[in-house]
Amino acid sequence: MNKYLIRRLALLIPTLVGMSFLIFAMVHLLPGDIVDALVGMDSTVTAEQKFELRGTFGLNDPWPVQYAKWIGGIFQGDLGRSFRSREPITDHILRALPVTLELALLAIVMSLVVAIPLGILSAVRQNSRVDLGARVTGLIGLSIPSFWLATLFLLFTSLVFHWVPPVIWISPWQNLPGNLLQMLLPALALSVQLMAVEMRMVRAALLEVLRQDYIRTARAKGLGEQVVLVRHALKNAFIPVITIIGIQLGALMGGSIIIEQIFGLPGIGWTMIQAVFNRDYPVVQITSLFLALIFVLINLAVDLTYAVLDPRIKYT
Amino acid sequence: MSQEQTFITPLPATIARPRLGNLQQTTRLLRRHPIGTLGALIVLFILLIALFAPWVATHDPAAQASKRLLPASAAHLMGTDELGRDVFSRIVFAARISLYVGVLSVSLALALGVTAGVLAGFIGGKFDNIIVGLMDIVFAFPTLVLAIVITGLLGPSLTNAMLAIGIVYSPTFARVARSSVLSVKTELYIEAARVVGGKERHIVMRHVLPNILAPLIVLTTLSFSLAILAEASLSFLGLGTQPPDAAWGLMLSQGRKFVEVAPWLAIFPGLAIMITVLAFNFLGDGLRDALDPRLHE
């Protein structure tokens, strides 16, 4: 197991290097020049001044050198500086990360609380009305755009409770009830799609497992239906479910960008969108890489969870 | 099953001559899957609306009038927006954009992904390793994150949004195509085609591709919903369709500012997105049940 862990962690490095390279290459090869964008319509700026400005950003180096400097900096904990605010990007990230992580975590917990019982119910009563209802609800949940749901939530709360989201983010360490109140709706809007996917997966996985011989054996030896379900079926059914949660978190990271935008939550996604519109490339690179990193790390955690759930999987 | 068959009405003469060998079988199976059939019908309905938009729309979608932010009425089925434009007509015309994006970006993803996947699976070796490595890296990014970066850099526009969506969804197609090719490659009929002297290109086109169609059809259908949703998300963020054109995501994001005085501006475009995405999901689900023999009981 330890060996496996080390190997998986070692495999992270080429993945991260590849990802960083892809992001870097896209930012540098696609058209659009930061200096032109910064200078804007100001025609008094000469070509020399522009060249100098590029120099201060290190943009006059050949791009492999720029990449090496950038990645070298990251490994030393220097994420670079924002083109716009000239602030170290590390500060941006440290401010934004807790918001995004809390949002994602709340959404995952909310989705699981609803999806697992519904999925089990749907599988145990396959083809019943409950099952059909759950499946259709699942497909609807899958199809509701989270940003529309968020808009409807806001419409509802402002009309009924006269509640509008606070303009600034409330930290949970300072004011936990205030923070939870602020995060409840965004997390709920974000969780619905995840909920639908999880529920469908729990159902499908459980149906598959319930057909296995060992379930028949368990029933044949006289175990109660509940014991069969909980001890024998569910534990095995959860492996594909956990996989799908891992994959879905990618969508969650994407969804969080829009939700943060709607509710004005200053998370990573929000920071990224600001940077995209400002053509603040260093910030775009780091924030997109960070969202991908969260996704990759959670997927690693998912893989490691298998070992706990399924002793049949050998790790060497 | 024999009991169920007796209830199936004969197919209309117009579609009695199937081009695909198992089209008839698929149609029959779709009938047994009401969800899939419902999806197909809604998709057809949306397609017709998009095709005949100028006839379906009650107003010119771009025409501004002094009657701003009016609620729904007989004259304006879904009310008017902040510039006095007819919301219903704009939604009808926006269906064109959604389907257009769906078709073009999914085709791009399909072309890129299937080519890469089939070649990787069929050729194998180093080439396979490179393609898989590349796809894994693209796969490691959350799709919307990558799509936002690409459209953000290329500049916000509908074309760039389609390009971005096509690129970010291509690894999924590559994966499915590659794994299908790997399982088909060892089949006896491929070996037989080789034995009788078939050229590689011929084998891929005539023997491999037709046999990996089923999973690709399902994936394509489901990808439509993802692509439409992605375009709506990008447009919502201001990175896709640009005003004054009407796209559902854009209408929703603009209508959001007036949501308290004119809730219909946010409700109807969102509803349009949801119904369209839902229809493609229904259809994809039904097709999967119908085309995947392992799911038959």
What DSSP string describes A125-137?
TTTSHHHHHHHHH
Quick one: which of A101, A41, A62 has its CA closest to A252?
A101
> Are the Cβ atoms of B154 and A32 closer than 8 angstroms?
yes
Buried b vs exposed e over B142-162: b needs ≥16 C-beta within 10 Å?
Answer: bbbbbbbbbbbbbebebebbb
Q: Which of A15, A142, A273 sits opposite B140 (nearest CB)?
A: A15
How many interchain CB pairs under 8 A, A with B? 144
> Are the Cβ atoms of A136 and B35 closer than 8 angstroms?
yes
Alpha-carbon gap, residue A125 to B26, rounded angstroms: 27
Mind telling me how many Å the CA of A281 is from chain B's nearest CA? 9
Residues of chain A contacting residue B267, judged by C-beta atoms under 8 Å apart = 152
Mind telling me how many Å the CA of B259 is from chain A's nearest CA? 7
* Tens-place pLDDT, residues B32-57: 777 888 888 999 999 999 999 888 88
Question: What pTM value is reported for the model?
Answer: 0.83
Q: Taking CA atoms, what residue in B is nearest to A286?
A: B149
Amino acid at the residue A191: S
> Are the Cβ atoms of A139 and B229 closer than 8 angstroms?
no
Mind telling me how many Å the CA of A180 is from chain B's nearest CA? 24
Q: Which of A158-172, B8-22, B149-163, B197-211 has the least mean pLDDT?
A: B8-22
Q: Which of A30, A147, A292 sits opposite B236 (nearest CB)?
A: A147
Please count the residues of chain A. 316
- State yes or no: pLDDT of B99 exceeds 70: yes
Which residues of chain A fall below pLDDT 50?
none
**Which pLDDT belongs to residue A160?**
83
Provide, rounded to the nearest whole percent, the portion of chain B with pLDDT above 70.
88
Local confidence band at B60 (pLDDT 50, 70, 90 cut-offs):
confident
Alpha-carbon gap, residue B80 to B58, rounded angstroms: 12
Residues of chain A contacting residue B132, judged by C-beta atoms under 8 Å apart = none
Local confidence band at B272 (pLDDT 50, 70, 90 cut-offs):
very high
> Are the Cβ atoms of B35 and A140 closer than 8 angstroms?
no
Alpha-carbon gap, residue B297 to B278, rounded angstroms: 26
Q: Taking CA atoms, what residue in B is nearest to A276?
A: B152
Tokens linked to A50 = 């522009």
Alpha-carbon gap, residue B129 to B125, rounded angstroms: 7
Q: Which of A29-38, A202-211, B114-123, B204-213 has the least mean pLDDT?
A: A29-38
Tokens linked to B113 = 């992904």
**Which pLDDT belongs to residue A38?**
67
**Which pLDDT belongs to residue B197?**
81
Mind telling me how many Å the CA of A120 is from chain B's nearest CA? 19
> Are the Cβ atoms of A19 and B141 closer than 8 angstroms?
yes
Question: How crowded is the C-beta side of A113, counted as CA atoms within 13 Å?
Answer: 8
**Which pLDDT belongs to residue A207?**
86
Quick one: which of A298, A290, A295 has its CA closest to A89?
A290
Q: Taking CA atoms, what residue in B is nearest to A204?
A: B295
Quick one: which of B171, B184, B172, B170 has its CA closest to B213?
B184
Residues of chain A contacting residue B237, judged by C-beta atoms under 8 Å apart = 257-258, 261, 273
Q: Which of A155, A255, A292 sits opposite B259 (nearest CB)?
A: A155
Q: Taking CA atoms, what residue in B is nearest to A158?
A: B260
- State yes or no: pLDDT of B16 exceeds 60: no
